[in-house]
Chains A and B, each alone.
Chain A
Amino acid sequence: AQSVTQLDSHVSVSEGTPVLLRCNYSSSYSPSLFWYVQHPNKGLQLLLKYTSAATLVKGINGFEAEFKKSETSFHLTKPSAHMSDAAEYFCVVGGQGGKLIFGQGTELSVKP
């Protein structure tokens, strides 16, 4: 069975400082992993995805994530936070049959 654990329910950073959102996964086979973002009252937007190609995945808006099989991690990073990055972020693993299994979410706050 697949599952994801987001290690922080809330992360607060200052504008211009790095962002790190942590995610560990569990999967009985080589997983597909995703990060989605959800702005208030908006739909889910795909940031990036890992599907067994390069382990360092670049996404939209300057975000990237690194797949580390030995650590079963897929942490999301960004070198410099922007106010518009404030949102809820979900780490997601692809399950059998194409369904998505979401983590609990990490709320990112960005202070001026």
Chain B
Amino acid sequence: EAGVAQSPRYKIIEKRQSVAFWCNPISGHATLYWYQQILGQGPKLLIQFQNNGVVDDSQLPKDRFSAERLKGVDSTLKIQPAKLEDSAVYLCASSFLDSPSGSGYTFGSGTRLTVV
């Protein structure tokens, strides 16, 4: 079974520039998550999709972050404009729709963003 695919693997940008990350979940996984992991901390949920609808985006800084999952499959997370504090690893994960609370997750390898 193919895993959760993310690209790019690494990205370095200057502050105030924009950047986009891509995620392709496991086939058949209806739920897709984006997590932000700042160095030295545990991952924190940014946004959760169920098919192509947003379930939870309460922790997403909507003034600069946006995400979409137009066809209910792959997803894009965008930051515009980036700030220094956005330097982090951005993790995508997916699960089946009926996975018990938190079970059945598969994480991608992440995109490491450095804002200089």
Asked if B14 is at the interface of the complex by the 8 Å CB criterion, the answer is no
In the complex, the answer to whether A103 meets B42 with C-beta atoms within 8 Å is: yes
Interface range on chain B (Cβ under 8 Å from partner): 20 to 34
Known: A43-B108, A43-B109, A44-B91. A98 touches B41 (CB 8 A): no
In the complex, the answer to whether B45 meets A104 with C-beta atoms within 8 Å is: no
Which residues on the A side are within 8 Å of B43 (C-beta)?
44, 90, 100, 102
Asked if A92 is at the interface of the complex by the 8 Å CB criterion, the answer is yes
In the complex, the answer to whether B42 meets A97 with C-beta atoms within 8 Å is: no
In the complex, the answer to whether A104 meets B42 with C-beta atoms within 8 Å is: yes
Asked if A49 is at the interface of the complex by the 8 Å CB criterion, the answer is yes
- Looking at A34, A96, A98, A102, the one whose CB has the most chain B CB atoms below 10 A away is A98
The secondary structure that dominates the B interface is loop
Number of interface residues of A (CB under 8 A): 24
Say which one of B16-24, B69-77, B78-86, B94-102 lies at the interface with A: B94-102
In the complex, the answer to whether A51 meets B100 with C-beta atoms within 8 Å is: yes
Q: Which residues of B contact A (CB under 8 A)?
A: 31, 33, 35, 40-45, 48, 55-56, 91, 95, 99-103, 105, 107-110
Q: List 30 A-B contacts (CB under 8 A).
A: A32-B100, A32-B103, A34-B102, A43-B109, A44-B91, A44-B107, A49-B102, A49-B103, A51-B100, A51-B101, A90-B43, A92-B102, A94-B101, A94-B102, A94-B103, A95-B102, A97-B55, A97-B56, A98-B31, A98-B95, A99-B48, A99-B102, A100-B43, A102-B43, A102-B44, A104-B40, A104-B41, A104-B42, A105-B40, A105-B42
Q: Which residues of A contact B (CB under 8 A)?
A: 31-32, 34, 42-44, 46, 49, 51, 90, 92-105
